[in-house]
Amino acid sequence: MKRKQRNSGAHPANGCFTAIIILLALILNLSLPGNTYAQGRCLIVSDIHLNPFFTTDGNYGINNELVQKLSAAKADEWGEILDNYAAKTIDSNLRGHDSNYPLLISALDNMYLAVKRPDFIIIAGDFIWHNNPADTALKQKSIQFIAGLFHKKFPGVPIIPTLGNNDSNNDYEKQSPQFLQNFASAWQLEKQNADTALFKSRGYYTATIGKLRFVVLNTSLVSKNSVAMGYNYYNDGYAMVNDWLKKELTDTINKVWIISHIPPGTNGFDGKPMWMTGGPKGDLSAMFTGTVVNNSRQVEFMIASHTHFNDFRVFYPGTSTIADSAAAYMRIVPSIGMDHRNNPSFEIADFDGAYHVTKETNYYLDLSKLTGKEEPTKLKWSDMVSLNNFTAKRKIDAKTLSNLVDKMLSQSKIRTYYDQFYGAGHPTGAFTNPVKYPAYLKAEKQNRASQ
């Protein structure tokens, strides 16, 4: 995602975050989620934004010597080079920057501690750093390197990746055939019963694991920011959303998870649409919503990312946004990268035999508590953030989340706790600032189908 100035709040109070969650449970009159039955468990990761070139002086500049060394090396040689030349610490000053190498290793170690053998792993795009260096070959090596780290840590575990807007030769640009081919090879898409031929030409695909079908979008083709960057992929986006997606959802008897990077609807940060809303054939975001609503019995779960924050979107069949009309929801999962001043985070999701997600747990590293003297390999990420803490049902659904938005509109205490959830354990001000929170809540219920 292109970097923007984000709201930052004060560091969390010294009180225990556990006490906050317990108090939230009392306010909402619900019990804390315990051990729920799960048919399976998966790992969900987003917006890694690895920048392996950071200097070691704590200023997070670019080490040009390291750039040259990594450029000259093969991707499978990067680990040894980074072990010798990259930064060795993680400190609170990393907030506001991309991930450095020690942070990614710490994240992988904690993912493995949380779930050693997930049924599958979903990575919702944006593997690459922001801005410079802009070298395309270096970007592709970086993706190969990250893929190698995941395959080594989780051997034999299926991985379903999607492309983010940074995962290209240039930000928001449609990926070249060579880029797509290398991406598919790095992530071994052919092993997931994936439509690799389609991916290598258009960047989106389907894959099947057991009786679960993944429909994986390439949202650079629908992004409003693509237009702002001088690209016009409306026809490509229309073909994906109106033709391909509709066919994939109606032609399968399996339950479907839709995986994407940029969510539809509006951005609570600036109130602007995130997908192309104008074009010769109509609003692509509304088309997507209509297709999802019409096939809501098949669509069991949806994932997006891009904002770097912990959030959701509720989808409705028409102009009404009352809870009883809510038809589907999309989780927006938080990021590993911290350039929006969030805590780095990943998610473990439990699902039942019908592939409905029953419990979500976000693990995060509280950067505000770090001094830079800690050994990165010994850092333990907290697991006190969960969307289940805000719902009166163990099984989250669209109606429950629609009701949650209504409660947040009228109850400031819930907004305060949600703001901590939104920043993965770090307050952002998005849901506590009286001028700003209405736009963020509106964005959560903004996704309505065309009439």
pLDDT surpassing 60 at residue 7: no
Domains of the chain: 17-448 (3.60.21.10)
Which of left, alpha, beta for 444 (phi over 0: left; psi -120 to 50: alpha)? alpha
Residues 6+ apart with CB under 8 A from 373: 89
pLDDT band at 26 (very low <50, low <70, confident <90, very high): very low
- Mean pLDDT, residues 266-287 taken together: 93
Task: Indicate the average pLDDT of the chain.
Answer: 90
Stretch among 24-28, 91-95, 116-120 having the lowest mean pLDDT: 24-28
Amino acid at 419: D
Which percentage of the chain shows pLDDT scores above 70? 90
Across residues 298-303, what is the average pLDDT?
Answer: 97
Q: What is the DSSP letter of 352?
A: -
Rounded to whole angstroms, the Cα distance separating 292 from 258 reads: 9
The answer to whether 277 touches 224, Cβ cutoff 8 Å, is: yes
Arithmetic mean of pLDDT, 262-280: 93
Q: Which two tokens stand for residue 5?
A: 């100035």
289: Cβ–Cβ under 8 A, 6 or more apart, which residues? 264, 315, 316, 447, 448, 449, 450
The answer to whether residue 9 scores a pLDDT higher than 80 is no
- Tell me the β-bridge partners of 122: 44, 160
Residue 319 has a pLDDT of: 86
d(CA 115, CA 357): 16
Say how far apart CA 109 and CA 90 lie, in whole Å: 14
> Which position has the token pair 């995962």?
167
Residue identified by tokens 């060394």 is 69
Give the residue-averaged pLDDT of 126-137. Answer: 92
Across residues 83-93, what is the average pLDDT? 91
**Exposed e or buried b for every residue in 288-300, given b needs 16+ CB within 10 A?**
bbbbbbbbbebbb
For 48, the enclosing helix (H) or strand (E) is none
What is the helix (H) or strand (E) element at residue 28, kind and residue range?
A: helix 17-28
Q: Is 193 helix (H, G, I), strand (E, B) or coil?
A: coil
Mean pLDDT in residue range 263-288: 93
Average pLDDT over residues 54-74: 93
How, if at all, do strands 345-351 and 357-364 pair?
antiparallel
Q: Is the pLDDT of residue 2 over 60?
A: no
Give the per-residue pLDDT at 448: 77
Instruction: Answer with the residue of higher pLDDT: 278 or 309.
Output: 309
* Of 10-19, 168-177, 328-337, the least confident: 10-19
Residues 6 or more apart whose Cβ sits within 8 Å of residue 193: 207, 208, 209
**Mean pLDDT value of segment 205-232:** 95
What is the reported pLDDT for 393? Answer: 59
Q: What is the pLDDT of residue 311?
A: 97
Radius of gyration of the chain (CA): 21
Which residues 6+ apart lie within 8 Å of 16 measured at CB? none
What percent helix, strand, coil does the chain show, rounded to 5?
35, 15, 45
pLDDT over 50 at 14, yes or no: no
Answer yes or no: is pLDDT of 123 > 60. Answer: yes
